[in-house]
Amino acid sequence: MAKKLPSAALLRGPRINPKPITGRERIIELVDNAFLAYNAGRLKEACHLFTERMLKPNVTIGMSLTGAMTPAGLGMSTIIPLLEAGFVDWMISTGANLYHDAHFALGLSLHQGTPFANDVELRNKGVVRIYDIFFDYSVLLSTDAFIREVSAREEFQKPMSSAEYHYRLGGYIRQREKALGLGRKSVLGVAYELGVPIYTSSPGDSSIGMNVAEQALSGSKLRFDVSADVNETAAIVLEAKRSGGKSAALIAGGGSPKNFLLQTEPQIQEVLGIDERGHDYFLQLTDARPDTGGLSGATPGEAVSWGKVDPDMLPGTVVCYLDNTVSLPIITAYAKARIGKRRLKRLYHKREAMMARLVREYQAALRFRNDRAVKAKKVRT
């Protein structure tokens, strides 16, 4: 028979006794007072995990981003404020988010529409729809032309990590914003100024990759070095741990960027053979269920079994089942109200030093494995 816990041990949580909402609440007051249960309760836990543990100065925060967030305006409303406040130190995004992010910096317009439009009529009138977002087909053509013009420049004619490509592209995007007299509209432009490296886990799976592929047919030497992406992201996480800090994963959505962020630890431990324990904090905002077996809904507990999350840190994990267009702005507002700003790490400019540490530890681990194999062979013979 299972041992019964004293009722006092089960009833230690705060009483549910919220104050009536007046309409004068600040975001901190609203979340802490009214978000008490169900997914609102998980969102409050997410806000607390982010501000109380993940935003400590010695924590390096990687963010993954999926879904059509930037065309919905979340680049300007949410992600740029997170970067400027020092709340995100490096990113992995779908290429689509970075491509649509560029529209705003080029002075192109996207509009609120309706999900109930006639798509045949939209196609006939040259209007593209992302659910309830409308924009003219020329927006795509103009952005394509800009990406091809920039990517054809001499400095791009070599293999490079996606972080280097996005950094260089972000510099030109920021120049265009300034020439047009625009404010900070682009995530890529802000990341360039702040030295925040942005990777994409599938470089060919977006209009950016499609335009780069088109130029390859004309002799361009630009190639995305996916091995550099794998090793650089692992180096960022290893540096966070070896410098006396912690590593945190802020996962907006799921998909390939989520895996690319979390696979840094199996890359360090399983493939490179370096002694490590997994990410320290795991905060996921998702609408995907775990029972379908897809990665997007996979829980932090499941990630522990892969070595992606430190098993001792499971209390430092939260999964919030909520649309990211709702959860991300609330978490951002809560963090800015409670923390304000954090020192920028400017990790893009530290890539060489971080890679040097990764290589040293890998070579030491390789020597250890080889020595052990030689000793085992001698014992057998």
Query: What are the residue numbers of the active site?
Result: 308
With CA atoms as reference, report the closest residue to 253 among 114, 96, 35: 96
Q: What is the CA radius of gyration of the chain?
A: 23
DSSP 8-state secondary structure symbol assigned to residue 75: I
Distance CA 36, CA 49 (A): 15
Coil, helix or strand at residue 203: coil
Coil, helix or strand at residue 61: strand
Q: Specify whether the CB–CB gap between 74 and 325 falls below 8 A.
A: yes
Name residues whose C-beta falls within 8 Å of residue 91's C-beta, 6 or more positions apart in sequence: 62, 63, 64, 65, 191, 196, 197, 198, 199
Q: Which helix (H) or strand (E) holds 260?
A: helix 255-262
> Sheet containing 59-65: which strands, arranged edge to edge?
198-199, 90-93, 59-65, 246-252, 281-286, 317-321
Pairing of strands 246-252, 281-286: parallel
